[in-house]
Amino acid sequence: MLPLLRGRRVLVGLTLAAVLGTVGLVVSSTASTPNPPTPGPFAGYGFDQCEAPSQTAMNAWRRSSPFRAVGIYISGSLRYCQAQTNLTPTWVSTQIANGWQLLPIHLGAQASCTTRDRYQSNKISADATNDYAKARSQASAEAVVAVTAARRLGLAPKSVLFYDLEGFSMATASCRTSSLKFMGAWSAAIRGYGFNAGIYSSAASGMKLLDYARLNPSTKIPLPDVVWIADWNGKADPYSTYIRNDGWPGRRIHQYQGGHTETWGGVKINIDRNWLDLRNLATAPPTTPPPPSSSLRDPKCTSTSISKASYSFTSATARKDLYVPLQCLLKQQRLYTAAVTGTWNTATVKAMQAWQRKKGHPVRGGFYPVDWVSLLAAGNSGTTLKAGARNADVIRVQRALNAARQDKLPVSGLYDARTIRSVAAYQRTVRIKATGVVASLTWAALNAGRWR
């Protein structure tokens, strides 16, 4: 999405004048079957590519790739994808039915200080009159175009619509302020039409401005519900050094790798890679900053240190090898606030008992299998898992099964044959139909901590 990678093409047959002149308001969807809002709660890999891939390509990548989310350019006068021959209501409904999380993107007016030639035809006004009224009006107009396109494609209310504000210089005050006012007006307008508002931008410009606004209420702009951070640092996580960790928890996407070609199922696509952390979409975004979460990340907490072949009763005298995983996982739940030491301490006891109270488990002096299973499954997206899935939820399942059944599964994140067998055995134990597929009933059992 960044300007150094590739541009975006013009939307064919949909202009703002046509929308405003012929309907005055946003038209209703032409899709015959309602779709659920997209994206839904999800944690895992996604990709974005200018042209919506063919159905053959989407099927091949669904079977073979680790991706379960895809960015699609639905509208905007500056997008490159003029044809979008594949992007139809049927394409949208088919992908959603197949388990894809869709990330609808609009690319319209760009920052007043942008230097890209192709963006000069549509720039955000830097006129400060009436609190940048022109910039705010532009954002509202862009929202009309985006919502009209979303409804024509059958995207349901409460779906997140992202504005793509490409990177720009932060040197000019009027450019910074007009861009910020624009993003605020977009967020307000999109929500006014019943959708959730998202902003995609460079971590060093648009994201940095939004984070500043979040921490400085005097700026008085509506904030987006979800942020999509472009920071190509190669790290598949929701973080960036340009934006504080406590902003938009569970409402982040991180574009961590720029344009490159990948091949899955014999199909090549040039993509950007993303990591999605959208666990909190069902809840209202915080109106005030939560407690700083820089402490949620600890050098002792790694995939290797947390993943174990088995988890069992842990106390001041039992399973000392599990002290680090316990502290790390409780820290992720904002219950353990001290440094991870790997030593049993008062903070560990308080945190584990807080977890037991939260889950309705008996509050005791040790951590039992029922506690471990629920803690290891915590934070999952609830997405159905079946053969070939590869994401963070699979890791959660494999760890939870190592607590529930002591199966010593390799924690690989790949839903392989051994994981399927272990899931089926767990389902029989907790009296669920043994399908080997993790769906709502199995997630509910794991979340509750059931192990026998």
Residues 113, 22 share a domain: yes
pLDDT at 16: 35
Residues 274, 308 share a domain: no
Residues 381-395 have pLDDT tens digits of 788 898 888 888 899
pLDDT at 177: 95
Does the residue 283 lie in any domain? no
Domain final residue pick, 278, 310, 345: 278
Report the distance separating Cα 354 and Cα 333, nearest Å: 10
CA nearest neighbour of 229 among 2, 76, 43: 2
pLDDT at 279: 84
- Which residue would you say has higher pLDDT here, 224 or 1? 224
Residues 226, 156 share a domain: yes
Does the residue 83 lie in any domain? yes
Residues 395-414 have pLDDT tens digits of 999 999 999 999 999 998 89
- Tally the domains of the chain: 2
- Which residue would you say has higher pLDDT here, 324 or 20? 324
Does the residue 151 lie in any domain? yes
Residues 134, 244 share a domain: yes
Average pLDDT, the chain: 87
pLDDT at 297: 61
Residues 111, 236 share a domain: yes
Does the residue 286 lie in any domain? no
Q: What single-letter DSSP state applies at residue 32? A: S
Residues 346-370 have pLDDT tens digits of 999 999 999 999 999 999 999 999 9
Does the CA dihedral 219-288-40-238 come out positive or negative? Answer: positive
Please report, as a single letter, which amino acid is at residue 128: A
Residues 333, 253 share a domain: no
Average pLDDT over residues 273-301: 64
Model confidence pTM above 0.85 = no
Angle of CA points 271, 121, 130, to nearest 5°: 110
Domain final residue pick, 278, 310, 339: 278
Q: Which residues contact 96 (CB under 8 A, 6 or more apart)?
A: 35, 36, 38, 102
Report the distance separating Cα 179 and Cα 125, nearest Å: 9
- CB-based burial, 185-203: b 16+ in 10 Å, e otherwise: bbbbbbbebebbbbbbbbb
pLDDT at 334: 87
Residues 417-450 have pLDDT tens digits of 999 999 999 999 999 999 999 998 999 999 999 9
Does the residue 355 lie in any domain? yes
Report the distance separating Cα 385 and Cα 141, nearest Å: 40
Task: Identify the band that residue 1 occupies on the pLDDT scale cut at 50, 70 and 90.
Answer: low
Residues 44-97 have pLDDT tens digits of 999 999 899 999 999 999 999 999 999 999 999 998 887 899 999 999 999 999
What are the Cα distances from residue 283, in Å, to 40, 171, 332? Answer: 12, 36, 18
Average pLDDT over residues 334-343: 91
Domain final residue pick, 212, 247, 278: 278
Residues 64, 150 share a domain: yes
Report the distance separating Cα 346 and Cα 65, nearest Å: 44
Report the distance separating Cα 361 and Cα 347, nearest Å: 19
State how beta strands 101-106 and 196-202 pair. unpaired
Q: Which domain holds residue 120?
A: 8-278
Q: Which residues contact 394 (CB under 8 A, 6 or more apart)?
A: 385, 412, 413, 414, 415, 419
Dig out the tokens for 272 from the structure.
């950007």
Measure CA of the first residue to CA of the last residue in the chain; give whole Å: 48
Percent of the chain with pLDDT over 90: 74
Report the distance separating Cα 434 and Cα 102, nearest Å: 30
Does the residue 237 lie in any domain? yes
Does the residue 271 lie in any domain? yes
How many residues are there in the chain? 452
Residues 332, 272 share a domain: no
Does the residue 70 lie in any domain? yes
pLDDT at 300: 86
Residues 191, 323 share a domain: no
- CB-based burial, 274-299: b 16+ in 10 Å, e otherwise: bbbbbbbbeeebeeeeeeebebbebe
